Amino acid sequence: MTANTYRAAGVDLDAASALKDRIKSVAGMTLGGHVIGRPGFFAGVYERSPEDNLLMAASADGVGTKIAVGQAAGNYKGLGMDLVNHCVNDLLTTGARPAFFLDYIGLGHAEREDAVEIAEGMAEACAAAGCVLLGGETAVMPGLYSGDELDVVGFIAGYVERDDLLGSEDAEIGDVLIGVPSNSPHTNGYSLIRRVFDIDDHPEVLNETEWSPDLGRSLGDALLEPHRSYLDVLTPVLGKIRGMAHITGGGVFENIPRSLPEGFGADIDLSSWEVPPLFRLIQEQGNVDRDEMFRVFNMGLGMVLLASADRANEIMDLVPDSWIAGRVVEREAGLEQVALI
């Protein structure tokens, strides 16, 4: 059986990374002196003036092809929650709390209820995050979106005190990486998931409950579990950690380095946690290589906190179900920054 890859499912992560680098270089020409940090972090941070202690943070993201799975299952409210929570978590990596959220919904036609259900999910997640759903754009564009196709994108903004700002320059060699569990694939890897389970041609598989007894529910319910928000659980440790990585597209290999200085890397201890059943099922059913799984999915690591080793126990006492998943190490340029050990 030929091994499945994200590239075979239509997503070339290397090409996507190269494209993002080109876009970052273009965006970099506009940054000027008011932007703190570097392009490529989970959220941008902007200062109105060097004397202003209150900084603005902002981010944008989408739900990806999880939309196709939600449509196949007729489950739309969760997609709205996915969108908000993903953006909240990206913003949180800077230490910022959300202030307001904007959305874009693109549709092929307007006679439908699914967009309203998505908006309901966004409103519920915004309320839980103490965030205002300020507005957005609902665009009807037949021809660009065919039939019942749709897309949703979110934009979030918030604030952080300068002294509380998290970035990518504070980590030190020997720091621990504290894992915080995910509750699902969140919003990443669904092109590969759709290929593994042949969901596009056989949506009825989402109703099946016999894929794995460890799931304890249907495949569709497991796949469409809304993206977890880490805002409440991680707020108590924001003044105690050095940094944070949200494990989204690109898995541990791409996202942990976004929170590390140049010349640093991370060793991830695979024996420190048990990969959740859903990811094991995807790997076995799709014959997906281990490293490919960790490049595409969060594998049960929803967030990774960077902290000094002497504060690890204090932090883990405050964050339920967290554990030491690895350490920050020195790593030569040109080598993969993250190693699975």
Residues 212-259: tens digit of each pLDDT = 778 889 999 999 999 999 999 999 999 999 999 999 999 999 999 999
Q: Decide: 154 and 30 in contact? Cβ < 8 Å.
A: no
Q: How confident is the model at residue 196 (pLDDT cuts 50, 70, 90)?
A: very high
Higher pLDDT, 14 or 52: 52
Domains and CATH numbers, the chain: 28-164 (3.30.1330.10), 176-340 (3.90.650.10)
- Is the model's pTM score more than 0.75? yes
Pairing of strands 243-246, 132-140: unpaired
CA 278 vs CA 85, 125, 178, 321, 330: distances in Å: 21, 24, 22, 18, 33
Count of other CB atoms within 10 angstroms of residue 222: 22
Provide the total of helices (H) and of strands (E) in the chain, helices listed first. Answer: 11, 12
Question: What's residue 168's pLDDT?
Answer: 67
Contact 224, 235 (CB under 8 A): no
